[in-house]
Chains A and B, each alone.
Chain A
Amino acid sequence: MEPIDEILTEAEALELPTEPMRLNMGPSHPAMHGTIRMVLDLDGETILNVDVQPGYLHRGFEKSCERGTYVQVYPYADRLNYVSPMLNNVGFSLACEKLLGIEVPERCAYYRVILGELSRICDHFTCNGASAMELGAFTPFLWLLKVRDWIWDILEKETGARMTHSFGRIGGMAAPPTPGFKEDVRAILPEIRKVIGEAEGLLLKNRIFLDRTQGIGKISQERALALGVTGPMLRSTGVAYDVRKDHPYSLYDRFDFDVPVGTDGDNWDRFMVRMEEIRQSMRIIEQALEQMPDEGPINVDDPRIMLPEKREVYDTIEATIAHFKLVMEGMKPPKGRVYSFTEAGNGELGFYIVSDGSGTPYRVRVRPPCWYNLQASREMLIGDMIADIVPTFGSVNMIGGECDR
């Protein structure tokens, strides 16, 4: 190899022939959130084209749903977005309840709202913390994950599991709230506020963080809508579309909260929208704690849908039969199809369920928010530098379980 000629003039250097380089990033790369492969065409460090290839975590969720009863979908639904499994549980419960045409008791609805919003806080903290860490800011990551652990402690106390709870049921929840539930949640809310302030204090005036997020990974409002982008990513472009506000499901029309929007649709806006949403979630939780009744049923009173009390199963023949029928055949909704959508951590999580009247779902289609957000990431990456993939991809918050199903 010849030594590099150091006396090239600028004009000569510009005439050096270059050709685009093809580079594989992933599927297993330390800076990638999930297992995903990107085939990049590079001109120097500028990205000319990128082929995003998902599918490395495909487990056949939709196929698996067609094999069991409706309740047996819950463990799979947990694993869609494993950062905020409770939101998936609630989303699937609401879809089944819409299919059945029932509504859960008020106390259960409040319980779901509180647990769901706690999960959303987890989701946003994980996303923002990890994005910051990938840019070299390790301390905010640790601080934010500290909060996630506090929330997981509460969820563990309520559900028995830290991550994959499988806690939702059709027409209710697996268990009523524990006696100290409200106090536990009230105790951590001020602590969370403190941590947000601390983390923002470290990041928001950091030159490196600003340079690597502001104006990077931009997407326009029209393109975002046409590509089906939802959630914080859509709101960062200035569209105030939040399912909780636009199509209030459950009890969300009773709470007073704001929908934060950005202006540019860049990494910075996405970061800030998520941070503000955490504050809004806490507002919702505070109001829900205030309004939630301490007494009352959690589950709907219908033996065709809910499992009977264990004690009754042992003592009475009716409950034994009901239990057997529900376990062996499952809940049987009427024929038809419904689409029920909720606001999950990354956007609109929809369940399209087709029922043929039997105890097994005929088809369960998940509209994963990540799928469309990831599709849009191609346009966001083209034209940026290769180093910008890390913060952009981090703020898209692609969750493999949900995207690849």
Chain B
Amino acid sequence: MSQKVVAKLEKELGDAILAKDDFRGDDEVTVDLKSWVKAAQFLKEDPDCAMDMFGDLTAVDWPEREAEGEARFDLVLYLRSVEKKHRIFVRTRVADGKEAPTLSEVWPGANWAEREVYDMFGIEFKDHPDMRRILMYEEFEGWPLRKDYPIDKAQPLVEYRDADDTLKLPPFGIEEGQPFGRIDWEGRLEGIGEQVSPSIGLQTGERRALSDSEIAEEQSAELDKRTAESHKPEEAGASAPSEGE
């Protein structure tokens, strides 16, 4: 769809282009962080590209990349040309704690988008005119869309009223009720590989799908263990908690 733009950008930036992709027709170019603004400027000003419409700017968190020594975040920029009717995605990589250059000089529309990326991922933008949180409140701690921010984490920074006659109850804690997320990111990043749902474990290859004979073996071993325990006279009282397992 926009092969021409990709070719032009490649010619202009040369080595700064790290990768190209056109999955399902969405042309995407990965550029070096140093050429981020240059690429944006070029796409806007070049008469053949003429990307006059700011589409979107967002980020994707890949925490498992950090272990491989690569930058953690992807910044994704989406641009369109109204006149030429083509569009392109530009991607770059930002490490945790590093600043990214702002695009709000090139496209004023990037202002709020960058504020949102900062708010949700904690990526700061250098020379941004107004680097404040935008969706969350100023006192909020943490970066909600990072994978290591638990989905069921509660932040009651405003304390609950401690009055007798109110019927207002604090929300459930993490340890109460049914787990909300299907993927336990904290466990996954620590390398425990604990999954909330066993089916997810199977899916991601972290748990082996047991064959029927293996399950039968496991079950009979478990049964033997329990009967052996319950027959011990001095530990008769200790078998009670095992029922609740």
* Neighbour of B76 across the interface among A225, A328, A352, A372, CB < 8 A: A352
Chain A contacts for B56, CB-based, 8 A? 228, 350, 352, 365, 367
Number of A-B contacts (CB under 8 A): 118
Q: Is the CB of A58 within 8 A of B183?
A: no
Q: Is the CB of A241 within 8 A of B82?
A: yes
Q: Is the CB of A225 within 8 A of B26?
A: no
Interface size on A, residues (CB 8 A): 49
Chain A contacts for B197, CB-based, 8 A? 328
A239 within 8 A of B: yes
Q: Is the CB of A63 within 8 A of B112?
A: no
The closest CB in chain A to the CB of B110 belongs to A228
The closest CB in chain B to the CB of A334 belongs to B23
* Neighbour of A336 across the interface among B24, B58, B82, CB < 8 A: B24
Give the contacts of A88-104 with B (CB-CB under 8 A). 98-99, 101
Chain B contacts for A372, CB-based, 8 A? 54, 109, 112
The closest CB in chain A to the CB of B82 belongs to A241
C-alpha gap A235/B56 in the complex (Å): 19
A358 within 8 A of B: yes
A360 within 8 A of B: yes
C-alpha gap A372/B200 in the complex (Å): 36
Chain B contacts for A222, CB-based, 8 A? 52
A295 within 8 A of B: no
Chain A contacts for B54, CB-based, 8 A? 225-228, 372
| A246 CB → nearest B CB, Å | 6
C-alpha gap A378/B75 in the complex (Å): 26
* Neighbour of A223 across the interface among B108, B203, B204, CB < 8 A: B108
| A324 CB → nearest B CB, Å | 9
Q: Is the CB of B85 within 8 A of A225?
A: no
| A179 CB → nearest B CB, Å | 37
Q: Is the CB of B180 within 8 A of A339?
A: no
Q: Is the CB of A338 within 8 A of B183?
A: no
Chain A contacts for B113, CB-based, 8 A? 228, 371
A44 within 8 A of B: no
Q: Is the CB of B26 within 8 A of A63?
A: no
C-alpha gap A270/B28 in the complex (Å): 34
Chain A contacts for B183, CB-based, 8 A? 66-67, 360
The closest CB in chain B to the CB of A223 belongs to B108
Q: Assuming the A-B contacts A55-B135, A99-B24, A329-B199, are A339 and B78 also in contact, with contact meaning beta carbons closer than 8 angstroms in the complex?
A: yes
Q: Is the CB of A68 within 8 A of B182?
A: yes
B107 within 8 A of A: yes
Q: Is the CB of B82 within 8 A of A360?
A: no
C-alpha gap A101/B24 in the complex (Å): 7
Q: Is the CB of B58 within 8 A of A67?
A: no
* Neighbour of B82 across the interface among A239, A337, A339, CB < 8 A: A239
Give the contacts of B131-177 with A (CB-CB under 8 A). 133-137, 144-145, 147, 149, 151
| B86 CB → nearest A CB, Å | 10
Q: Is the CB of B136 within 8 A of A338?
A: no
* Neighbour of B85 across the interface among A246, A336, A350, A371, CB < 8 A: A246
C-alpha gap A305/B200 in the complex (Å): 17
| A294 CB → nearest B CB, Å | 32
| A58 CB → nearest B CB, Å | 4
C-alpha gap A365/B74 in the complex (Å): 13
A363 within 8 A of B: yes
C-alpha gap A229/B80 in the complex (Å): 12
Interface size on B, residues (CB 8 A): 44
The closest CB in chain B to the CB of A404 belongs to B135
Chain A contacts for B116, CB-based, 8 A? 371
Binary flags per residue of B199-215, CB closer than 8 Å to A gives 1, else 0? 11001100000000000
Chain A contacts for B182, CB-based, 8 A? 67-69, 360
Chain B contacts for A404, CB-based, 8 A? 135
Give the contacts of A218-237 with B (CB-CB under 8 A). 222-223, 225-229
B55 within 8 A of A: yes
Chain B contacts for A197, CB-based, 8 A? none
B16 within 8 A of A: no
| B107 CB → nearest A CB, Å | 5
Chain B contacts for A106, CB-based, 8 A? none
Give the contacts of A367-397 with B (CB-CB under 8 A). 367, 371-372, 375
Give the contacts of A47-87 with B (CB-CB under 8 A). 53-55, 58, 60, 62-64, 66-69
| B122 CB → nearest A CB, Å | 14
Q: Assuming the A-B contacts A63-B151, A338-B26, are A358 and B200 also in contact, with contact meaning beta carbons closer than 8 angstroms in the complex?
A: yes
A332 within 8 A of B: yes
Q: Assuming the A-B contacts A352-B56, A372-B112, are A337 and B151 also in contact, with contact meaning beta carbons closer than 8 angstroms in the complex?
A: no
B102 within 8 A of A: no
Q: Is the CB of A367 within 8 A of B60?
A: no
B111 within 8 A of A: yes
- Which of B58, B135, B151 has the largest number of chain A CB atoms within 10 A? B135
B36 within 8 A of A: no
Q: Assuming the A-B contacts A227-B109, A371-B112, are A55 and B200 also in contact, with contact meaning beta carbons closer than 8 angstroms in the complex?
A: no
Q: Is the CB of A64 within 8 A of B151?
A: yes
Give the contacts of B20-61 with A (CB-CB under 8 A). 23-24, 26, 28, 52-56, 58, 60-61
Residues of B within 8 A of A (CB): 23-24, 26, 28, 52-56, 58, 60-61, 76, 78, 82, 85, 89, 107-109, 111-113, 116, 120, 133-137, 144-145, 147, 149, 151, 180-183, 197, 199-200, 203-204
**Given contact pairs A58-B136, A367-B78, A375-B109, a sample of 15 additional A-B residue pairs in the complex whose CB atoms are under 8 Å apart:** A55-B135, A63-B145, A63-B149, A69-B182, A226-B107, A228-B107, A246-B82, A328-B197, A328-B199, A332-B203, A338-B23, A350-B56, A352-B58, A358-B200, A404-B135
Sample (11) of A-B pairs whose CB atoms are under 8 Å apart: A60-B144, A64-B151, A222-B52, A223-B108, A225-B53, A227-B109, A228-B53, A354-B60, A358-B203, A359-B200, A372-B112
